[in-house]
């Protein structure tokens, strides 16, 4: 049996309950009654074991009370019956116990709160706003619309090179941990200056940025200092996800204390790790922490995306699911910083494939040394790659994930999950011809408009039709070739050709 969490004295439990209630208040959420904090914590802990442990799921229904006690689970089997009783599940849980119904409502309120925050991620700069909207539409065409919305955050900041964990499924596939970006006085000045640049470009949406990307933030011993600066400048503590919550228990406990509700996530790589987590932290301490099982046998592990290192470990991946989940692991629709390497990428999520196996497109990559460099580069990237109108695209062509199909009254674009139809109107009767010309990939906007005009369409109507295609994200915005996509441009090198100048 796994190690179980020892009994908490009444003072310790009361303090954990008070902290949970206070954290909900600070987030603007409805605070819970103390008794509900305890009951919900017990239900959540049961769900964590249930989700992670295949053998526990098989054995529990036969003797729930004995097995629950053996695992140190305080939840009354009758209260969590909607989770473990298949007959109850098949009935649709029409009448769950009142405390369980309140627990479900509480989780729904946290999801609503999170989704509202995601919906509020709108950058300040209008170039960024419109480009981001088009990337969201384009991604939906590639991978479909998911219930758990991709936040499309404006920036991520990598504070180390490589990762010490080495998860076999990691979509970012980082190398082994090398150098980390320490919190020296010089580095702190650079860090704060970068944060201010992103805040000025993204506005309040900058709060959604994260201080890691493809590595574990706890690999950086100064992560808390960087996170504190982030909170001071952006107005909120950053989201944090770690696969090493038990490496330094007190450090993790401090991170729990400062993280907003469900803003801290533990990636659980094994049942042994789950048992250590449960032994180290009380249920009340983890009520507002996301515990995400990624171990073999976990019920949620089927959501693992086939990207990065998972593509290098196909046999292991097949233990989790028989097919391949072609979603995107990336959530950055904006700027990806690596402070160790002093690089900035402009990127957006995509389905993993041969060209972009990590699940994001890179439109540009450049080096920086100072906050002034960062400000210059960010603005240049927006100027070069965030077209404000369709005429700024060098060529008009549909996204490669879309199949073009002419129809009698227009054309259809068919993606892996979505189909869109574009019909001729009285104002624009030549929609089929327009679609065929865009599909050819041979024309810029002005040339295409001129040719359609020659067939009798009004210029204004053609422009409106192209603007709509542009707004919906069905037109390819690059990167236009591999050389440009990987170019490294320094703002201090006058001999370097700007990527955007070739357009």
Cα separation, 363 vs 374, in Å, equals: 16
Cα separation, 406 vs 482, in Å, equals: 30
pLDDT at 312: 77
Q: Take residue 313 and report the two structure tokens written for it.
A: 């470990």
Please identify which residue in the block is written with the tokens 């400062």: 258
What percentage of the chain reaches a pLDDT higher than 90? Answer: 73
Would you give the DSSP letter of residue 437?
H
Residue 325 confidence class, pLDDT cut points 50, 70, 90: low
For residue 87, which of 52, 59, 61 has the smallest C-alpha distance? Answer: 61
Decide: helix, strand or coil at residue 479.
coil
Q: What is the pLDDT of residues 293-311, one digit of tens each?
A: 988 888 877 677 777 777 7
Pairing mode, strands 419-423 and 488-489:
unpaired
Q: Is residue 497 pLDDT above 60, yes or no? A: no
Cα separation, 283 vs 168, in Å, equals: 29
Pairing mode, strands 403-407 and 410-414:
antiparallel
For residue 268, which of 468, 115, 52 has the smallest C-alpha distance? Answer: 52
Domains of the chain: 125-243+294-387+485-503 (no CATH), 392-471 (3.90.930.60)
Cα separation, 111 vs 320, in Å, equals: 26
Is omega for the bond preceding 479 within 30 degrees of 0, making it cis? Answer: yes
Q: What is the pLDDT of residues 169-178, one digit of tens each?
A: 777 778 899 9
H or E element that contains 241 = strand 240-242
Q: Take residue 363 and report the two structure tokens written for it.
A: 């439109």
The answer to whether the beta carbons of residues 71 and 47 sit under 8 Å apart is no
Cα separation, 96 vs 82, in Å, equals: 7
pLDDT at 500: 28
The answer to whether the beta carbons of residues 7 and 13 sit under 8 Å apart is no
Q: Is residue 481 pLDDT above 60, yes or no? A: no
Q: Work out the mean pLDDT of the chain and round it to a whole number.
A: 89
Averaged pLDDT, 429-441 = 97
Residue 94 confidence class, pLDDT cut points 50, 70, 90: low
Q: What is the pLDDT of residues 18-64, one digit of tens each?
A: 999 999 999 999 999 999 999 999 999 999 999 999 999 999 999 99
With the CA atoms of 163, 167, 171 and 176 taken in that order, what torsion angle do they form, in degrees rounded to the nearest 10? 30
pLDDT at 10: 64
Q: Is residue 236 pLDDT above 70, yes or no? A: yes
The answer to whether the beta carbons of residues 198 and 208 sit under 8 Å apart is no
pLDDT at 498: 27
pLDDT at 266: 97
Q: Take residue 172 and report the two structure tokens written for it.
A: 């970012």
Higher pLDDT, 231 or 500: 231
pLDDT at 115: 86
3-state secondary structure 1-61: CCCCCCCCCHHHHHHHHHHHHHHHHHCCCCCCCHHHHHHHHHHHHHHHHHHHCHHHHHHHH
pLDDT at 485: 35
**Residue 124 burial (10 A CB sphere; 0-12, 13-18, 19+):** middle
Q: What are phi and psi of 304, to 5 degrees?
A: -70, 130
Decide: helix, strand or coil at residue 251.
helix
Q: Which residues contact 149 (CB under 8 A, 6 or more apart)?
A: 115, 118
Q: Is residue 472 pLDDT above 90, yes or no? A: yes
pLDDT at 273: 96
The answer to whether the beta carbons of residues 45 and 68 sit under 8 Å apart is no
Averaged pLDDT, 4-16 = 69
Cα separation, 327 vs 185, in Å, equals: 40
Degrees (nearest 5) of the Cα angle 298, 173, 345? 125
Residue 6 confidence class, pLDDT cut points 50, 70, 90: very low
pLDDT at 148: 66
Q: What is the pLDDT of residues 346-369, one digit of tens each?
A: 999 998 888 888 889 999 999 999
Which residue spans within 380-443 are E strands per DSSP? 403-407, 410-414, 419-423
Task: For CA atoms 354, 358, 363, 368, give the dihedral sign.
Answer: negative
Q: Which residues contact 23 (CB under 8 A, 6 or more apart)?
A: 260, 261, 288
H or E element that contains 190 = helix 185-202
């Amino acid at each position: 049996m796994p190690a179980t969490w020892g009994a908490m004295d009444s003072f310790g439990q009361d303090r954990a309950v008070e902290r949970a209630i206070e954290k909900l208040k600070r987030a603007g959420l409805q605070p819970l009654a103390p008794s509900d904090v305890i009951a919900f914590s017990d239900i959540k802990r049961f769900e964590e074991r249930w989700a992670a442990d295949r053998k526990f799921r098989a054995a529990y229904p036969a003797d729930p009370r004995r097995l629950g006690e053996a695992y140190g689970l305080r939840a009354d089997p009758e209260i969590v019956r909607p989770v473990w009783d298949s007959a109850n599940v098949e009935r649709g849980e029409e009448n769950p116990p009142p405390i369980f119904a309140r627990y479900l409502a509480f989780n729904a309120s946290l999801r609503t709160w999170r989704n509202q925050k995601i919906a509020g991620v709108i950058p300040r700069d209008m170039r960024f706003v419109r480009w981001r909207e088009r990337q969201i539409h384009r991604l939906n065409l590639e991978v479909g619309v998911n219930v758990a919305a991709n936040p499309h955050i404006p920036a991520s900041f990598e504070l180390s090179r490589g990762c010490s964990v080495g998860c076999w499924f990691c979509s970012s596939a980082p190398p082994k941990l090398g150098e980390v970006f320490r919190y020296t006085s010089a580095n702190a000045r650079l860090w704060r200056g970068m944060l201010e640049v992103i805040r000025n470009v993204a506005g309040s949406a900058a709060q959604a940025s994260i201080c890691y990307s493809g590595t574990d933030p706890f690999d950086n011993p100064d992560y808390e200092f960087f996170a504190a600066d982030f909170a001071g400048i952006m107005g909120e503590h950053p989201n944090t996800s770690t696969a090493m919550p038990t490496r330094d228990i007190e450090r993790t406990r401090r991170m729990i204390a400062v993280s907003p509700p469900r803003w801290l996530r533990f990636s659980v790589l094994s049942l042994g790790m789950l048992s250590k987590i449960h032994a180290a932290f009380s249920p009340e301490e983890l009520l507002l922490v996301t515990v995400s099982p990624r171990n073999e046998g976990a019920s949620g592990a089927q959501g693992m995306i086939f990207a990065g290192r998972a593509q290098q470990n196909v046999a292991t991946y097949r233990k989790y699911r028989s097919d391949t989940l072609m979603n995107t692991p990336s959530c950055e629709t904006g700027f990806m910083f690596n402070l160790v390497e002093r690089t900035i990428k402009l990127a957006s999520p995509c389905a993993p494939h041969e060209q972009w196996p990590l699940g994001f497109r890179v439109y540009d990559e450049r080096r920086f040394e100072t906050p002034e460099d960062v400000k210059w580069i960010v603005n240049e990237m927006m100027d070069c790659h965030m077209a404000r109108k369709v005429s700024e695209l060098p060529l008009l062509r549909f996204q490669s994930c879309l199949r073009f199909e002419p129809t009698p009254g227009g054309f259809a674009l068919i993606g892996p999950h979505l189909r869109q139809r574009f019909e001729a109107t009285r104002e624009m009767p030549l929609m089929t011809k327009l679609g065929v010309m865009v599909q050819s990939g041979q024309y810029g906007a002005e040339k295409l408009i001129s040719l359609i005009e020659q067939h009798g369409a009004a210029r204004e109507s053609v422009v409106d039709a192209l603007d709509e295609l542009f707004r919906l994200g069905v037109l390819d915005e690059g990167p236009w070739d591999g050389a440009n996509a990987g170019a490294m441009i320094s703002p201090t090198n006058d001999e370097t050709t700007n990527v955007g100048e070739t357009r």
